[in-house]
Every structure is written in C-alpha cells, then in structure tokens.
Amino acid sequence: MSLRLKSFVAAAAVAAGVSLLSAAAQAQQTIKVGILHSLSGTMAISETTLKDVMLMLIEEQNKKGGVLGKKLEPVVVDPASNWPLFAEKAKELLLKDKVAATFGCWTSVSRKSVLPVFEENNGILFYPVQYEGEESSKNIFYTGAAPNQQAIPAVDYLMENEKVQRWVLAGTDYVYPRTTNKILEAYLKAKGVKAEDIMINYTPFGHSDWQTIVSDIKKFGSAGKKTAVVSTINGDANVPFYKELGNQGIKATDIPVVAFSVGEEELAGIDTKPLVGHLAAWNYFQSVDNPDNKAFIEKWKTFTKNPKRVTNDPMEAHVIGFNMWVKAVEKAGTTDPSAVIDALIGVSVPNLSGGYSTMMPNHHITKPVLIGEVKGDGQFNIVSQTPGLVVGDEWSDYLEGSKDLISDWRAPLSCGNFNVKTGKCGGKSVN
Amino acid sequence: MRFARLFLALLGLALAMLAPPAARAADLDAAFARIATENFNEIEAAIGDLAATGNDKAATALQAMTDGALVYAPATKGVFIKKADGSFLDARTGVAPAEAPFATKPVRVNNRIRRALEAALGSLTLLAPDPAKRLAAAEAVFKSRDVAALPALDVALAKESDAKVKRVMTQARAAAILAKPDATDAEKVAAIDVVAERGDQDALSLFANLRANGAPIVKMAAETAAGAIERRLAVLSSVQNVWYGLSLGSVLLLAAIGLAITFGVMGIINMAHGEMVMLGAYTTFVVQELLRTRFPGLFDWSLAIALPLAFLVSGAVGVLLERSVIRFLYGRPLETLLATWGVSLILQQAVRSAFGANNREVGAPSFMAGSFDFMGLQITYGRLWIVVFCAAVFAALLFVLKATSFGLKMRAVTQNRRMAACMGIRTPWVDSLTFGLGSGIAGIAGVALSQIDNVSPNLGQSYIVDSFMVVVFGGVGNLWGTLVAALSLGIANKFLEPFAGAVLGKILLLVFIILFIQKRPRGLFALKGRAVEA
C-alpha cells in the first residue's frame, strides 16, 4: 500500500469515526418524533397539511428549548396513501428510528393497519381525525372526535333548531360512514324517528356523478316534513356533490346538509356562495374568536409563508396531542413509552376553541362541539356551541354489543373493552 | 285655563300617536331596536315585525340583511346598512349618519333567519316594479305558505298584469289557504285544484298533510290530485334517468375518446391517459387565474380560451411521451403498460409539487351555472353544455379521421404500416402526431371535466378505468363503438342506480362487461379483415 493511499484510508477512517461520533452525540441530544402522514397519493390532499403543522409545532418547541433539555427531531415518512405501507413505515419509525412518539394517520383503515404494529412494539400514536369509535388501544391516543363528540350533537342541533323530522344519511362506502350511520340510525330511532323517515345511501370513493342521488334527496325531502342530510361523504367526492346541490337549486334553507368531513381546507377548492348555510360539525373552526386561536392562525400563516392558508379541526387535534405529549414527557421525566402512556392520562392542555382538553382514561379527550354554517368566504359562522366539554365515548351507547363496554387504561383495570355486565375484560384490543 | 291647554296638548299628542304614519314609525323603530342583538329568536321576531310594517325602509333593510350588509352597533343599538364602499346608511331613515358608527357587527344570520327573511321579503316585494322580482317574491311566499301574507297577496293579485307572475301568485295564495287553519273545505278543495296545476314535488309535499288528516272531501280531492301528479312524476323520472344517463355517458365518452385513438387505433396501453385529462383541467385553472387577475371582464370566455391551450399542452406532453418512451416499446404491451403507469405517477407528483395537493377552484362561466325547467325536468346548464360539447368533439374527430389527409395517413399506418411506409408516409412522424392528437383530446376533455369534478392531481385516476372499460366494450379501433358503449354504459348505470345503489350498480356493470367480453372478446363493434390479424 502506497503512502498516499494509506493516508487517504486513515483520513477516511478518521472522518467516518468523527461523523459516527457526532451522530451518536446528536442521538443523545435529540428526541425523535415520527410523522406518519401521506404526502403522495389520494390522501395527500388532507394529510400534507398535518405534516406541516407538526413541523411547525416541533420547530416552535425547539425554540423554547425542546423537551427535557433535548431538541426534538422530526422524522417524516411518506406512506403514500397505501394502507399496508402505513404498517411498514410505522415499523420503520419504531424499530429503526426509535421515535418517542408518532403523530399520524387519517383514514380509519390506515389506523387499523398500524394498530398491531404500535401494540407489538409498545409505541405511542396520536390520531388526530374524527372517527367511528368502537376501538380502544393502549398505544393509541385519539385526539379527534368520537361519534358522540360530533355526529350526535349535530343531529341534536338539527332536531332542536331546524325541527328536522326526515333524515338522509349519505356516506362514502367504508368503515367510518357505515359505523357512524349505524350509530345515528339507532340514535334517531331511540328518539322516535320512524324507519320510513330515514334514507341511507352509500357511494363509492371519489363518486363524481351525483345527479341521481341529489334528485332522490330532493324527492325524499318533499314529503311535507322538514328534511336534512347528514353527510359522511369523504374527500374528493364532496366537491361534485355540493356542485350538484347548487346546480339543482337545493338551498340550505330547503334541505340543509350537515357534514362531518368538510372543513375549511376542503372548502378552499369550491366556490362557496351556493353553499351558504350548509352546516358542519367540528370541535374547532378557524373562525373561533379568541386570542389563542388568532395567535395560532398568525403563526401558521407565517410558517407556511402563505397568507391565504386556512386552519382546520384535525390541525387543532394535533396541537392538543402534541402539547399533551410534551407535558406528559415532562411529568414522567423520560420518553420511555410505558411511563409516558401512564403519565398522559389526566394531562390537561388548552385547546384553541377556548377551554382545556383533558386526556381521559379511555385515551380519548374532552372537547367542545361546535356547529358552523358555511359563509360565502369559505369560513364558518358558528351557530351553536355545547356549553361544556364532551368526553369522547369510544364504545357507543347506542349499539348492541358495545353499549356495555368501557375502556379504562389505568393500572388496576388496564383494559380497553371491559364488559360492565359480565365484569370481564374482553381481551387486549377488540376492533 | 292652564289645565285646558294641557288637556288639548295631550289630546293632540294622543291623536298624533294614533295617526298611521307616526304609529308606523314607532313600530319600525321598535323592530329595528329589536334586531340589534345576538339572540336568534329575537332577530326572527324582529324580521316578522319589520315585515308587518309594510314599510319600504324595512324592505331595503331586509334585502341588505340577505346580502350580509346589515350591521348594528352594540353600544348604541343603531342599525345601519353598510355599503360596498364602506360607508354607512342609517337603516331607519335611509340617510347617512352624522358620524360613522363605531365597532359595528353584522346582524347574525342562520338558516332559520334566512328562511324568515325570504318569507318576509316575499310579502314585502310582491308589488315591486320589476316582474322578475315579483315572481321571486311569489315563489318565496309559495314556499313559506305564510298565512300572514294573504292580504298582501290579494292586493298584489288585483294589480298584477303579467300572466306568469299572476299564475304563481294564485298558486302562492292557494298554498297559504291550505295552510290556513280556519279555511273552509270548499276553499281548500279549490286551492287543491290550483296547486295541482304545478304538477311537481312541491305541490305533492303540500298535499302530504291533507292526505293524512284532512276532512273527507278535502282528503279525496288531495288524493286524486296527488295520484295524478305521482303518475306524471313516475313517467318523468324515467325520462330524467335517460337524461342523466346521456350526461354521464357524454362524460365517459369525453374521457374515453382520446383513449379510443391511442389505445383503440394505435394499440398503445396508455396508463397516463388520465393524467392528460388532468393536465387539461389544470390548464383551465391557470387560464382562469390569469384572467381573474389581469382581465376580469373576459372570465366568461375562459373555457373557450383554455380549450386550444389545453389541447396544445396535453398534446405536446403526449408527443414528448411518445418520442421519449413509447416508441421504444412498440409491440411490447406489458412494458408499455408499466412505463406509462410510471409516467402517470411522475406527472401526478409533478403537478402536486407545482400546484400543491389541494383541490384548485375552477369557476363556472355564467352561462354554465344554474338550471332550467324543461317540462318539469330540471336540466342543469353545465351538464347540457357538456353533452353539446362532447357531440362537437366527436364530430370534429370523425371529420379529422375521415376527411383530412392526416386522417388518411393515420388510418393507412394503422391498417398496414409497411405498405404505408412504402407509399412514402413517414410512419414514426404519423405515430407521434396520432398519439399527440389522442392526448390533446384528453386535454380538451379535462377542460370540460374541470366543471363537474375536482381539479386535483388525482383527477385522472378516477377516469382511467372507466375509459378503458368504454373502449374495450365498444370494440377496439372503432370510434362509433366508443360512442355507443359510453352512452349505453351511462344510461344503464343511471337505471341501475335507483334500484341497486351507486356501489352495487357499478359492480353489476363491471360483471356484465366481464361476461360480455368472454362472449365477444372484440367488443360491440369488432373490426373485421386483415388489420385484425396483423
């Protein structure tokens, strides 16, 4: 080996050693936080925003000095709207990157796909989107709304304020709308609505030809009783649905539509003038008028360098989830998942709708429920707000088989589906 | 003496208060004071009070409220109309206030208030000079079935000269009588006859209550009238299904017609076809954005301007794709499929990076918005134009293929490539232009689809499977086959949907096509002759 080559090898070895060392040093100084949101594929439209909001929160926390004296380091992966890939990427985050907590998923099927991975490897997942309930996992924290925090208050509002007697439950054909509609149907029947006054309709993902269904709704709505549509239509199918409503001249004063999946972000792609008065139920609206929310919107616009960017409910859920995690880690004094999972229960942080949200023993949080009417500028006019906070109910009280179940992950019980009638825990996690 | 003077003064005051103009002014002021609140119940009541005054100031204020321009100052309870230029008018007097009000808030509106507003404005504008306004007012009263509007309706009916407005007013009056608790049975039966003339869903919904719990004679009249309307609506609904089917079919045809050339005529499995459609839609978006900022007056022309541009953009991308990828893969369908699928992903992600993952707003020019009533059939202008446009594109394409020298060369190359080459046709050149033509037409389809679907990077994906289905079903290489296939699939889909639901309907159609292809592998209109074997 020539001298030159030798010195080259030595230099390379030193360089490699240094970089290894510095990597090790860095690993000690930072806490990794996983972000598991689709940045490509069909769900990118909704999930990209959540990745951005997480990056903003982490940057902000680092400016405040990080957590436990260490900087946070975001690890962003792209599961590309592909459900099996979600599980794979989750495994990668937990085993390879050893993240302390993960924030991610949008659709229920992606959550179901990563659930066993998080349970097997004892990870922590914060799930920020409203969902159908009927699930409880030791390793998942649900910061979005359960059906009783969104769907049921919305139906109550329509019954009381709009005196609705006939109901169209329209949804995209997958697990969230199917379960939510099952719960709503049971709830409406319990309230004395007759079966012939409920119309249930499912459409495929990305359905774009709404002519027949909208004209059916119109027909159903002209039976002499006040009619409303409860929409669990998901994603891209909403735009052609609302366009068709507008084209066929159905106004919110005739047949109001209350949607659970349409927020500020979704309205940004539509001309909202024909939609004025249609409703949405969420736990947060950008138009909530309080200083916390104003500051948050300002930060978000500066961070994205876009004065037109809007905020929405799942973003607020991530803000709550992230702040809860930071508080729990500081309380536990470690990022060890088992300790943090225990510390998270009972943690309270301010939400952006005014008030404090608390993590309950069933891994769901307390939230206010707001009903908003669409305004001409794509924002919502808040027409109703629950006086107090509503506790997320994972096992619906209106469904056979789940009404006797409760979930309590605190020490002696530590069970996700405890049956209060038989006094037995049904197993680790039943989906 | 002093007492007498005082008494006289008091009497005069009382008389002044009794006199109608002064009394109305007092009502108006009270109603305006009532509206300056956060409470929806109060606001709704105030609207009723305002409508009851019959004052034109009230009508102006209510109109402003509908437009979201009625504001109030919480501190002084003053109510103002905010004009577009930011200045204020006092709603009570109609003149500009001495000093601009401070910290105003818009009067709150929700659906219930909006309904009350429509009804109130309806009864207030029944005498408006503009017949269109009177018509809208009459429709609003018909919808609200407001018994309180009856006197106003009678006055308006006596003065009305326009036949159409008069008819709607008569119907509105009948609807109000049906809702009136103390109307006699004879009045009700007469009203039923008037309302039955409408023959639509609204009329039917008016009868629903009477059929359930009216007096026997009223019940019978309602039953007969409703029966006739129901029979008419049943016939109408099949006509409506055919129309919906035609409109869905023309959307399918637009999406598939470009593929009928690239896949049908050239035999290239082009998975990136949907992305050509998407590029066309984004071209429309860019054109509209430019027009909106630079030449707002030209907005109604945006689609016409976007059409040639979309054709050029998608066509150019198509030619580029053919020259750089596909020409190396002729005769290797599997590899073409994979390569073009990869290209489709690249195009999607490129658009996502350039424009963001969110839906983009593409507006409808004024001539495409809204709908009209054709013999009781609601036809939306947007859909109508798409059907017309689709027919025009189809005719233009047929013309290019059958009557131009380029079309002749294209057909020659696809029928017998070597013979065509011997005749001096530059076959690679024809290939790439043909592919460009197919892609360009996909781009044009994108302009139309931007009107009814999301403009998002995923736009193309949702059409690619349907497009292949249409081309395969219609028979590869046959434009007329594509036309027939698209329309029959569209109409079949719309007739299945009411019975089977949208999900099952789609499945049934797919199963049908699979079975059909087993029986006739070459589709509805199979090409015959030597070209098939080649």
Three state DSSP letters for B280-310:
HHHHHHHHHHHHHHHCHHHHHHHHHHHHHHH
Assess if residue B170 is contained within a domain: yes
**B353/B429 same-domain check:** yes
Tell me how many domains chain B contains.
Answer: 2
- Mean pLDDT over the full length of chain A: 88
How many angstroms separate the CA atoms of A282 and B110, rounded?
17
Contact state of B111 with A256 under an 8 Å Cβ cutoff: yes
Shortest CA gap B11–chain A (Å): 47
**B179/B299 same-domain check:** no
Q: In B, which residues are within 8 Å of A266 by CB distance?
A: 359
β-strand pairing of A125-127 with A101-104 = parallel
Shortest CA gap B278–chain A (Å): 14
Assess if residue A400 is contained within a domain: no
Size of interface A-B (CB pairs under 8 A): 138
DSSP 3-state of B114: helix
- The pLDDT, as a whole number, for residue A40 is 83
**A93/A158 same-domain check:** no
How many angstroms separate the CA atoms of A128 and A87, rounded?
17
List the domain range (segments joined by +) for residue B291. Answer: 236-533
Contact state of B380 with A248 under an 8 Å Cβ cutoff: yes
List the domain range (segments joined by +) for residue A281. Answer: 148-287+370-391
**B498/B408 same-domain check:** yes
B502 → closest Cβ in A204, A249, A381: A204
**A185/A136 same-domain check:** no
A206 → closest Cβ in B248, B371, B462: B462
**A172/A188 same-domain check:** yes
Q: In A, which residues are within 8 Å of B114 by CB distance?
A: 252-253, 277
Chain A residue with the nearest C-alpha to that of B212: A224
Assess if residue B313 is contained within a domain: yes
Amino acid identity, residue B116? A
B110 → closest Cβ in A173, A213, A373: A373
- The pLDDT, as a whole number, for residue B6 is 53
Assess if residue A211 is contained within a domain: yes
**A178/A275 same-domain check:** yes
Shortest CA gap A383–chain B (Å): 7
How many angstroms separate the CA atoms of A272 and A246, rounded?
10
Chain A residue with the nearest C-alpha to that of B350: A40
Assess if residue A219 is contained within a domain: yes
Assess if residue B374 is contained within a domain: yes
Amino acid identity, residue B104? T
Assess if residue B474 is contained within a domain: yes
How many angstroms separate the CA atoms of B220 and B214, rounded?
9
Q: With beta carbons less than 8 A apart as the criterion, state whether B394 and B479 touch.
A: yes
- The pLDDT, as a whole number, for residue A339 is 94
Question: What pLDDT digit, counting tens, does each position of B361-378 carry?
Answer: 888 888 887 788 887 787
**A84/A171 same-domain check:** no
Q: Which residue from B369, B365, B368, B403 is spatially nearest to B388, judged by alpha carbons? A: B368
Band of pLDDT at residue A430, cut at 50, 70 and 90: very low
**A243/A301 same-domain check:** no
How many angstroms separate the CA atoms of A319 and A317, rounded?
5
Mutation test of the interface with chain A: which of B458, B467, B497, B504, choosing the one with the most A Cβ atoms within 10 A? B458
Q: In A, which residues are within 8 Å of B209 by CB distance?
A: 224
B462–A contact, CB cutoff 8 A: yes
Comparing B92 with A33, which gets the higher pLDDT? Answer: A33
Assess if residue A428 is contained within a domain: no
**A155/A142 same-domain check:** no
HSE value, Cβ hemisphere, 13 Å, CA-based, for B301: 8
How many angstroms separate the CA atoms of B146 and B150, rounded?
7
**B287/B181 same-domain check:** no
Q: With beta carbons less than 8 A apart as the criterion, state whether A94 and A121 touch.
A: yes
Shortest CA gap A254–chain B (Å): 8
B522–A contact, CB cutoff 8 A: no
Question: What pLDDT digit, counting tens, does each position of A208-249 carry?
Answer: 889 899 989 988 988 778 999 999 998 778 888 988 888 888
Question: What pLDDT digit, counting tens, does each position of A58-104 carry?
Answer: 999 999 999 999 999 999 999 988 999 999 999 999 999 999 999 99
- The pLDDT, as a whole number, for residue B314 is 96
Contact state of A212 with B498 under an 8 Å Cβ cutoff: yes
Q: What average pLDDT does this structure show over A28-48?
A: 87
**A173/A248 same-domain check:** yes
Q: What average pLDDT does this structure show over A103-123?
A: 94
**Strand runs labelled E in B54-129:** 70-73, 78-82, 88-90, 105-106
Give the burial string for A364-377 (b: 16+ CB within 10 Å, else e). Answer: bbbbbbbbbbbbee
Asked whether the predicted pLDDT for residue A1 surpasses 50, the reply is no
- The pLDDT, as a whole number, for residue B244 is 92
**B148/B284 same-domain check:** no
Chain A residue with the nearest C-alpha to that of B361: A269
Contact state of B206 with A224 under an 8 Å Cβ cutoff: yes
Assess if residue A406 is contained within a domain: no
Assess if residue B521 is contained within a domain: yes
HSE value, Cβ hemisphere, 13 Å, CA-based, for A27: 10
**B482/B419 same-domain check:** yes
Contact state of B208 with A225 under an 8 Å Cβ cutoff: yes
Q: In B, which residues are within 8 Å of A248 by CB distance?
A: 371, 378, 380
Tell me how many domains chain A contains.
Answer: 2
Q: What average pLDDT does this structure show over A160-165?
A: 90
B204–A contact, CB cutoff 8 A: yes
B486–A contact, CB cutoff 8 A: no
Q: With beta carbons less than 8 A apart as the criterion, state whether B489 and B303 touch.
A: no
- The pLDDT, as a whole number, for residue A10 is 52
Question: What pLDDT digit, counting tens, does each position of A372-421 carry?
Answer: 999 888 899 999 888 889 999 999 988 888 888 888 898 888 888 888 88
**B188/B286 same-domain check:** no
How many angstroms separate the CA atoms of A68 and A325, rounded?
12
Contact state of A277 with B110 under an 8 Å Cβ cutoff: yes
**A282/A309 same-domain check:** no
Whichever domain contains A248, its CATH number is 3.40.50.2300
**Strand runs labelled E in A54-182:** 71-77, 101-104, 125-127, 140-142, 166-172
Length of chain A: 431
Shortest CA gap B370–chain A (Å): 5
Distance of CA B233 to the CA centre of its chain: 22
Q: With beta carbons less than 8 A apart as the criterion, state whether A133 and A396 touch.
A: yes
Mutation test of the interface with chain B: which of A52, A208, A219, A311, choosing the one with the most B Cβ atoms within 10 A? A208
Q: With beta carbons less than 8 A apart as the criterion, state whether A369 and B61 touch.
A: no
- The pLDDT, as a whole number, for residue B17 is 45
Boundary of a domain, candidates B158, B183, B214? B214
B344–A contact, CB cutoff 8 A: no
Contact state of B208 with A224 under an 8 Å Cβ cutoff: yes
User: Which stretches of chain B score pLDDT less than 70?
Assistant: 1-26, 527-534
Assess if residue A425 is contained within a domain: no
Assess if residue B61 is contained within a domain: no
Q: What average pLDDT does this structure show over A194-203?
A: 93
Shortest CA gap B137–chain A (Å): 16
A240 → closest Cβ in B204, B453, B497: B453
Q: What is the ipTM of this complex?
A: 0.78
Asked whether the predicted pLDDT for residue A428 surpasses 50, the reply is no
Assess if residue A122 is contained within a domain: yes
**B147/B242 same-domain check:** no
Assess if residue A410 is contained within a domain: no
Helix (H) or strand (E) holding A118: helix A108-120
**B185/B245 same-domain check:** no
Assess if residue B99 is contained within a domain: no
- The pLDDT, as a whole number, for residue B312 is 97
Record the pTM: 0.82
Q: Which long-range contacts (CB under 8 A, 24 or more apart) does A129-133 make?
A: A129/A105, A129/A314, A129/A317, A130/A260, A130/A261, A130/A282, A130/A313, A130/A314, A131/A176, A132/A108, A132/A175, A132/A176, A132/A178, A132/A179, A132/A180, A132/A183, A133/A179, A133/A183, A133/A393, A133/A394, A133/A395, A133/A396
Q: Which residue from A243, A251, A343, A338 is spatially nearest to B451, judged by alpha carbons? A: A243
**B269/B168 same-domain check:** no
For chain A, counts of helices (H) and of strands (E): 12, 19
B111 → closest Cβ in A44, A45, A253: A253
**A80/A118 same-domain check:** yes
- The pLDDT, as a whole number, for residue B38 is 79
Whichever domain contains B477, its CATH number is 1.10.3470
- The pLDDT, as a whole number, for residue A213 is 93
